[in-house]
């Protein structure tokens, strides 16, 4: 079981963005944030409100003077960049990075640069690989928290703890139950002349059966529909 | 080739969030936004600045009075919800939804509810499936634009147009070139007694070779390292 990645924000400018990054992280189960030389110092009063309750991430955030200090205990460093640079490193997607981190022995960390300027070339150099989000070539405008959330989200997809929203759906009704519905409808339609002319009746019945088979209604839904048909029968009788 | 999903914001409250959603969409190539009864009317002066340049999405956004009107031409409706409800519909991830949309004939749309309240039960009812982002069970706090960006991002991953960041890396140096480096180092170390005692020399040489094989240096890097070794040799001679 490999350790989750540490998120390192390098020279973040706005406390609000640090808070948003914390919120993005915690949504997907990441809790370890490091800050390298945050512009306005730390703690920053704007961070808390933007974290929308992810206070634990901010409270535990560690502050460092340099990327070197912040990554001293990290074995696998990934640097996020927006634009392609002339670097001779593998460029991978957040998805591929998440899979790599999962397989990494030792701690992994993902570096995010300052809001406008991104990471400096020297900071990218310490990374073993570069993470770039594949983006609309005609409109690339990911902000810091968005870049963080996509990396955290991809990590969470490798984890079972990211509660997969499973709902046990009722299975489709048995063929016997479905046949009961179809027969009931047939019994109602036949006296009304729906299946005339007689030589077209088999095709019409097949069409109806296909149409009623397609929804894969469960037993409860089939019972509900039979109740609907029963009601329709009664009303007609009453009107007569 | 299936059509991209239409993003429908139902009763959005803040213009800023509509702008952020537009930005999130365009980053991943989605351009069709529909608004159902935006609280503060439309257009909304707060939307533009928050869109960070995704103005085309806002300019083309269409406004409707009801979900029924906004989805009249849609064949496949997906509703995003945060919490599990007692609904008997499939609950799928953004990833699974993107794959479904890709295979859908006819237009698909994803409904997003108001910032605080989400979609109403009646609005969820029109959907064929529910999209829920798997999230930290102890901290789920996705805002509207974040939910939109994750759905748009997953859609983009099904599209080739989401420029995969490919960098053609130089291949590792040939074995001949690598051997040249190893031999040069060996020639430098041997006279200094590095390989003594003699009976340990084969193991030591194997260790070195493994260590220098692992990085998969390219030809340029191997040449650089040979230059480093050459310099080291010179310096030692000079010092003598």
Compute the average pLDDT of residues A92-100.
Answer: 93
Q: Are B27 and A135 a contacting pair at CB < 8 A?
A: yes
pLDDT score at B240:
45
Please return the burial class of B56, using the count of CB atoms within 10 Å of its CB with bins 0-12, 13-18 and 19+: middle
pLDDT score of B139 more than 50: yes
Residue of A29, A139, A163 with shortest CB distance to B54: A139
Q: Is there a single domain that holds both residue A68 and residue A143? A: yes
In angstroms, rounded to a whole number, what is the distance separating the alpha carbons of residues B54 and A191?
61
Q: Are B135 and A142 a contacting pair at CB < 8 A?
A: no
pLDDT score of A240 more than 50: no
Q: Is there a single domain that holds both residue A31 and residue A138? A: yes
- For A143-147, B20-24, B127-131, which range has the lowest pLDDT when averaged over its residues? B127-131
Cβ–Cβ < 8 Å for B143, B115: yes
- Per residue in B166-190, pLDDT (tens digit) is 556 778 888 899 999 999 999 988 9
Compute the average pLDDT of residues A44-62.
Answer: 95
pLDDT score of A69 more than 90: yes
Q: Is there a single domain that holds both residue A54 and residue A147? A: yes
Q: Is there a single domain that holds both residue B94 and residue B203? A: no
Q: Is there a single domain that holds both residue B38 and residue B64? A: yes
Q: Are A163 and B29 a contacting pair at CB < 8 A?
A: no
Residue of B87, B139, B149 with shortest CB distance to A27: B139
* Overall number of domains in chain A: 2
- Per residue in A223-238, pLDDT (tens digit) is 989 888 888 887 555 4
pLDDT score of A219 more than 80: yes
The Cα of B32 is separated from the nearest Cα of chain A by a number of Å equal to 15
In angstroms, rounded to a whole number, what is the distance separating the alpha carbons of residues A238 and A37?
82
Q: Are A136 and B146 a contacting pair at CB < 8 A?
A: no
The Cα of A225 is separated from the nearest Cα of chain B by a number of Å equal to 16
User: What is the domain range of residue B11?
Assistant: 6-157
In angstroms, rounded to a whole number, what is the distance separating the alpha carbons of residues A35 and A112?
10
Compute the average pLDDT of residues B133-151.
Answer: 91
Compute the average pLDDT of residues B143-155.
Answer: 95
Cβ–Cβ < 8 Å for A149, A24: yes
Main-chain dihedrals φ then ψ at residue A78, nearest 5 degrees: -115, 135
Cβ–Cβ < 8 Å for A147, A43: no
Q: Is there a single domain that holds both residue B15 and residue B103? A: yes
Give the chain B residue whose CA is nearest to the CA of A217.
Answer: B88
Q: Is there a single domain that holds both residue A88 and residue A204? A: no
Cβ–Cβ < 8 Å for B163, A135: yes
Compute the average pLDDT of residues A62-83.
Answer: 90
The more confident residue out of B118 and A33 is: A33
Does B166 reside within a domain?
Answer: no
ipTM associated with this complex: 0.75
- Per residue in A124-170, pLDDT (tens digit) is 888 888 999 988 888 888 899 999 999 999 999 998 654 545 556 67
pLDDT score at B121:
85
Q: Are A169 and B90 a contacting pair at CB < 8 A?
A: yes
The Cα of B76 is separated from the nearest Cα of chain A by a number of Å equal to 14
Q: Is there a single domain that holds both residue B180 and residue B153? A: no
Q: Are A153 and B157 a contacting pair at CB < 8 A?
A: no
Contacts of A48 in chain B (CB under 8 A): none
Give the chain B residue whose CA is nearest to the CA of A85.
Answer: B167
Dihedral over alpha carbons B45, B46, B52, B57 (to 10 degrees): -60
pLDDT score at B83:
64
Contacts of A135 in chain B (CB under 8 A): 27-28, 156, 162-163
Compute the average pLDDT of residues A92-98.
Answer: 94
- Per residue in B41-81, pLDDT (tens digit) is 999 999 999 999 999 999 999 999 999 999 998 889 999 98
pLDDT score of A33 more than 70: yes
Cβ–Cβ < 8 Å for B31, B60: yes
Residues 6+ apart with CB under 8 A from A119: A10, A79, A80, A81, A111, A112, A113
pLDDT score at A117:
87
pLDDT score at B85:
59
Count how many Cα atoms sit within 13 Å of the Cα of residue A231 in the half-sphere of its side chain: 6
CATH of the domain at A56: 3.40.1280.10
- Per residue in B88-110, pLDDT (tens digit) is 788 899 999 999 999 888 899 99
Does A163 reside within a domain?
Answer: no
Compute the average pLDDT of residues B211-240.
Answer: 78
Residue of A54, A88, A149 with shortest CB distance to B169: A88
The Cα of A231 is separated from the nearest Cα of chain B by a number of Å equal to 23
Residues 6+ apart with CB under 8 A from B168: none
Q: Is there a single domain that holds both residue A209 and residue A128? A: no
Q: Is there a single domain that holds both residue B196 and residue B128? A: no
Q: Are A141 and B84 a contacting pair at CB < 8 A?
A: no
Does B170 reside within a domain?
Answer: no
Q: Is there a single domain that holds both residue B71 and residue B144? A: yes
pLDDT score of A26 more than 90: yes
Please return the burial class of A140, using the count of CB atoms within 10 Å of its CB with bins 0-12, 13-18 and 19+: middle
Residues 6+ apart with CB under 8 A from A49: A16, A19
């Amino acid at each position: 079981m490999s350790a989750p990645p540490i998120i390192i924000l390098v020279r973040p400018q706005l406390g609000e963005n640090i808070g948003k990054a914390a919120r993005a992280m915690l949504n997907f189960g990441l809790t370890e944030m490091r800050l390298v030389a945050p512009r306005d110092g730390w703690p920053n009063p704007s961070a808390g409100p933007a974290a929308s309750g992810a206070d634990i991430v901010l409270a535990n955030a560690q502050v460092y003077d340099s990327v070197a200090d912040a990554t001293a205990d990290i074995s696998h460093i990934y640097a996020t960049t927006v634009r392609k640079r002339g670097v001779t490193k593998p460029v991978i997607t957040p998805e591929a990075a998440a899979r790599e981190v999962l397989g990494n022995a030792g701690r992994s960390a993902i570096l995010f640069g300052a809001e406008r300027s991104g990471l400096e070339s020297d900071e990218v150099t310490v990374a073993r690989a570069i993470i770039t989000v594949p983006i609309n070539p005609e409109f690339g405008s990911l902000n810091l928290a968005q870049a963080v959330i996509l990396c955290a989200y991809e990590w969470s997809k490798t984890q079972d703890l990211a509660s997969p929203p499973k709902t046990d759906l009722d299975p489709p009704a048995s063929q016997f139950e479905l046949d009961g519905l179809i027969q009931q409808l047939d019994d109602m339609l036949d006296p009304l002349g729906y299946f005339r002319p007689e030589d077209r009746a088999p095709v019409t019945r097949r069409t109806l059966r296909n149409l009623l088979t397609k929804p894969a209604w469960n037993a409860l839904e089939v019972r509900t529909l039979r109740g609907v048909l029963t009601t329709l029968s009664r009303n007609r009788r009453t009107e007569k």
